[in-house]
Structure formats: C-alpha cells, structure tokens
Structure 1
C-alpha cells in the first residue's frame, strides 16, 4: 500500500488515486451535492482525511461561501493539499492529526473519503462517534471507502475486478495485481452491512448508499 510520507508517492497521489478509484472526480462532486442538501450557503464543513486536497478543492470550487477544516495525520499530504488548493487555500484551515485534532465545531456537514478502510472496527466506530459529536443536528456525513464481503471467493472476485480497472486506467499490471494481496493483508475492510451498522451505532440515521464502484462504496448519513 502507498506510504503517505514517501515523497514520490505523495507527489503522484492525485494521478494515482484517479486511476484506481472509479469516478473519483464525480465522487467529489456527488459529495458536494449531498452536503448542499442541508448545509447553508455559509456552511462550515469538516473534511477528515483531507491530505492531498482533492475533495477540498472540488468542494470549495462548488461552494465559494463554505469554510473548511481539513484533518489528516500526514504532514506531507497536508503540504500537498496546500499546493493543490492554490487560490482556494484561504477557505481552508488544515490540522495535522486524527479526529481528536479536529475542532469541536459544530459543523454543518462532514466528509470522510478513502480513509475509514485504514481503521480497524473499534477505531472506526470511535472516529464516527467523534464526527457525530462535531455535527449540528440533521447535518450530513458523506463517507466512501473500500467495502466488500469478507467471503473469500466473493472478496477475491471483486478485488480482481478492481485490479483490472486500475490496469485499464494505466496502472502497471504487476502493480495493479499486487494491490490484491496488499488490500487483503493490510486493510481491515468491512462488508457493506457492517459499515452501515457502524454508522448506526455511532448515532447516524437516514443512511443511503449513493456510490458503488467495484470494491468502493459510499454512503450519506445524517446526525440524528
């Protein structure tokens, strides 16, 4: 898996991620649409896993009146975010760390994209609970990450499809195929049903699937 402190990996993050995540730019736009359903024109939005700055830039361009707090544990990825944001940087405050480093809010909405699959279930639940505490009542949370059944034949079939997509998008075949073992060994991926259960346990309601692309799934949920 990618090291988020390796300079070469960080510099190539945007191009690499666009190749392995189907519809990445559309995912960012969909997140903006979903947040805007409930967030006001002057909303304050929490972005967890903000390193790289891709979703921050997309959201800021869609909603010039919004202000953002972006949180990420990698200093190198946050520096990349500053570069990617360019003239949109004044709309964003960046914080190095995990959810405990995030301001208390209250926020009008939050995103957590391509991040939760790195966290084991207990830490994932704690993170969702802490996001919940920082949101205003009724505010939206948009999440998207690897989520697929743990049954070996089903899991392997979907991982192979994901690798084939990456190879078709320009990732070297050997590297794409190597991601199958890396994901199985290093990511504590949950099934879609388990992901929804954790959202409910953290206090979220009205949970809807909005994005489904090979091994990636995305949901919008609301603070009860």
Structure 2
C-alpha cells in the first residue's frame, strides 16, 4: 500500500549529495566521448535536471501507470508480488519513484545498467532509503540479460544509447517478457523528419539549456561528446519498431521539445 503518513517519499534528487554539472566548462579533446563514468555519477542528477525537459514529470507519472497495470502473482517464496524492470537504470531514479509509492510487499524492482559506477551508487542509495523493499541492481548488458515475466518495463532515455541495429532486438525481448496487460514505458530524445522544424526544435532545446545556466562552450562540448554515442530516432521509427515487435497498441503520452515518452501495451 502507499505510505499512510504525509511525509513525502524521497526522490533521487532529495537524497543524493550531488555536485553541479561542470563536465564541459573547459574545452575537451574533440575526440572525447561521453561515458557514464565516475565523473558523470558525481553530477548526474544536476545534469539530468538541467538537460532533460520534463524529466521529473515523467518519473512522477510512473507510479500512477503502475497502479493501473501491475498484477500480483505468487512467484517468490509464496509471496504475491509484481515485478518491474528498469533497463538502463543509472542511479535508480525510476526505482526511487516506484519504491516511494509501493509497499515493500507489493513490488519486486530490478534495475540493470552496464555502468559499474552507476550501479554501485544506485545500490548504496536504494539500500539506504528502501532497505525493506525487494530491489536488485544488476551491472550487466541489458542486451545480454534474460528477463523474467513482468508487468512493467521502463526504458528511460536508454534505447538512444544502444546501437540502432540492436534496438528492435531489445524491444522484442521486452515484449516477450511482459505478461498480458503489461506495459512498456519508452522515453527518448527524438528528431523530427521535417528538417526545418527539427532545426527550430533543437535550437529551442539549446535555449532551454541556456536558461538552465549552461554556457555555449558547455552546450557545444556535450554535443560533440555525444556524437555517435547518443543516436536519436524519429517518433515514427519508434512507433514502427514497437508495432513490428508485437505491441498491440501504443500512444505518445508526453512531449516536451525533442523529448517524448511512449506507453506501449501488450
């Protein structure tokens, strides 16, 4: 059951002692590439807050969706519980959002990420704040991990970091792991097919970053570091791929500049 008192549940931003994102305040080698290393871990919440429009709103909606679609089944030591995966969990923000709204006896939360610094920190944070919840943080390649039957899978700004050729394969695995009635939440940075509209939208995104205190050097530095690391799809490509792997229906429920979130139903 949800918490009965009126104390707000902790979020990732409220519990982590994070530093400011200053990674790109000095010029980097033009060949340097972005990676989820110790430096990124140290400032990740600040980076996300200032770089991803609507990130907090997306997280806040996940427990609401979960309430509608999780089903309890007996699968672990006689306990009835629902299973949720967060693929590409980073510091576990999705798991924080869910653990804060579900009792320890209601959900099994599994986060997978291939960054050891991220999973190590996520394990410590979630263990400290939700010690009684059934939460597993696994450092592994989400393309290689087998998924157990589940009711909800979250890909929160994850697919865009995978090689395009591997994206359908992962979505197929997600579809196959979901129980009937289960949902996939896919949040991504996207590009528009119309070049003029896409250019306008990208420039407004940079305005968003400027308004959040990023300098021109930081904006260009991160853009260069993400080249060929973060490869966007169009909304149409995402929709076609989800249909191809078998999702019965889907809808884009959130949109803010060049970021969208899709819910796909099995």
TM-score normalised by structure 1 residue count: 0.90
1:72 alignment counterpart: 113
Tell me if 1:54 matches 2:93: yes
Larger Rg: 2
1:104 is displaced (CA, Å) by 2.9
1:83 alignment counterpart: 124
Structure 1 contact 47–112 (Cα < 8 Å) conserved: yes
CA RMSD, aligned part only?
2.0
1:142 alignment counterpart: 185
Alignment gaps of 5+ in structure 1:
none
1:216 alignment counterpart: 259
Higher helix fraction: Structure 1 or Structure 2? 1
Structure 2 contact 88–142 (Cα < 8 Å) conserved: no
Taking the aligned partners of 1:53 and 1:39, their CA distance within structure 2 comes to 19
TM-score normalised by structure 2 residue count: 0.77
Correspondence list, 1:18-29, <5 A: 18-29=49-60
1:163 alignment counterpart: 206
1:156 is displaced (CA, Å) by 2.5
1:151 is displaced (CA, Å) by 4.5
Residue-pair matches, total:
222
Taking the aligned partners of 2:225 and 2:239, their CA distance within structure 1 comes to 24
1:96 to 139, 144, 155: 139
Structure 1 contact 71–98 (Cα < 8 Å) conserved: yes
Q: For residues 214 and 184 of structure 1, do their structure 2 counterparts lie closer, same or farther at Cα, with a shift above 3 Å needed?
A: farther
1:181 is displaced (CA, Å) by 4.8
Taking the aligned partners of 1:161 and 1:180, their CA distance within structure 2 comes to 15
1:39 alignment counterpart: 70
Report the 3-state secondary structure (helix = DSSP H, G, I; strand = E; otherwise coil) of the residue aligned with 2:34. coil
1:4 to 29, 36, 45: 36
Alignment gaps of 5+ in structure 2:
1-32, 73-80
